[in-house]
Structure 1
Amino acid sequence: MATTLGFTTPSLIAATTGIVGSAWTSGAIASISLIGIPAYLSSPDTSAQIWATSYERGKNTMPKVAIAVALAYFYAAYDSHGRDAAGAWKGFLGAAGLVLVILPFTRAVMKPTNDSLHSIASGSSATPQIQSGGLLKKWSALNIIRSLFPLAGAALGFVTLLANATA
């Protein structure tokens, strides 16, 4: 199979898709904290409900995007493995792992905050809606941390691609 920059064309497309996809994922996640949460906080009476709506949309979208991006990196790793003396496959595998970390991070680290906000949003919490601001700020900080994992995946994928490119 013909190669471009030392990679087969499908591998190059997969790596590029992984890099662009993980950078997009990071930005999409971070935008909720940087743009959404400040807007939600301007309506303290309904901020938890607005957050819950955004959360559901993200929950229904981002895991699928992360898995698709990771699959692109997995393909680049698989395709590079057999003829890769420099170990590019390890970098692509690491990039895939960094993108996928958002899934256990959400379940392990963010779950208590998510649960509290969902309780407030549904009205089943003793905490008044107006006091959800502190929880939203905590969630926002955790979400920014979560956004750094796919960003690191994009950086690792890019560095791996450049380090292993040959003319």
Structure 2
Amino acid sequence: MPFLSTPLTLSATGGILGSAWVSGSLASLSICAIPALLQCGTTTEGLLRGWHLQYSRGLAHIPTTAAVIGLNYIYLAYHHHSLGLEWRGYATAAFTNLMMAPYTFAIIGATNNKLLGALSGTGKPLTESVVRMLMEKWSKLSAVRVLMPLAGAILGLWNLLQ
């Protein structure tokens, strides 16, 4: 590992830990929270409210955190490039963290909209079986997002150790 200034080392460490934290947050939603809601034997409205609570909590911190981490990795890539050091791991880590937003809009957005519409009453009313199916689909699609910041953490660590 080349000598790095303390701010760069702290920035890289923060990016790596932040990426891992976002990955863990997403994993807890997909692997723990949603399956637990589906097993609790509640009503359709209870399922929708439980999903919405988890969705809202994730929406409150995960996108912003991932964006800040992505920008941090961009800063690290730029600075390392200007010093003639390996920078591609940080650049790719930035990409993997920032790709969560387009993935969410493009791949999970329709499922989100159906569940949100059913909860608010502005969308098509959904039966319990359809809500369960949509929540299971949401959980699986969201589980793919776990890999994006996890890859960012691995790439950031790899680049730090170069």
Given the two structures, how large is their TM-score scaled by the length of structure 2? Answer: 0.90
Structure-1 residue corresponding to 2:160: 161
Deviation of 1:117 (Å): 1.1
Structure-1 residue corresponding to 2:141: 142
Structure 1: state its 5+ residue gaps: none
Deviation of 1:44 (Å): 4.1
Distance 2:26 2:90 in 1: 21
Moved >3 Å (runs of 4+): none
Structure-2 residue corresponding to 1:105: 103
Structure-1 residue corresponding to 2:88: 90
Structure-1 residue corresponding to 2:53: 53
Structure 2: state its 5+ residue gaps: none
Report if aligned partners of 1:44, 1:132 keep a CA contact under 8 Å in 2: no
Q: Which amino acid aligns with 2:77?
A: A
SS at match of 1:70: helix
Distance 1:93 1:34 in 2: 29
Please give the residue correspondences for 1:9-28 in structure 2 after superposition, counting only pairs within 5 Å.
Answer: 9-28=6-25
- The CA deviation string for residues 43-75 of structure 1, in whole angstroms up to 9 with x for no partner, is 243111211122122112111101111122122
- The CA deviation string for residues 6-57 of structure 1, in whole angstroms up to 9 with x for no partner, is 2222111111111110000000011001111012112243111211122122
CA RMSD of aligned residues (A): 1.6
Distance 1:18 1:32 in 2: 21
Please give the residue correspondences for 1:3-42 in structure 2 after superposition, counting only pairs within 5 Å.
Answer: 5-41=2-38, 42=40
Report if aligned partners of 1:73, 1:95 keep a CA contact under 8 Å in 2: yes
Distance 2:127 2:156 in 1: 45
Report if aligned partners of 1:7, 1:80 keep a CA contact under 8 Å in 2: no
Aligned-residue identity in percent: 38
Deviation of 1:131 (Å): 3.3
Deviates more, 1:38-47 or 1:63-72: 38-47
Please give the residue correspondences for 1:68-79 in structure 2 after superposition, counting only pairs within 5 Å.
Answer: 68-79=68-79
SS at match of 1:12: helix
Q: Which amino acid aligns with 1:31?
A: S
Distance 1:44 1:142 in 2: 23
Distance 2:112 2:134 in 1: 9
- The CA deviation string for residues 58-96 of structure 1, in whole angstroms up to 9 with x for no partner, is 1121111011111221222122111224xx222111101
Report if aligned partners of 1:22, 1:154 keep a CA contact under 8 Å in 2: yes
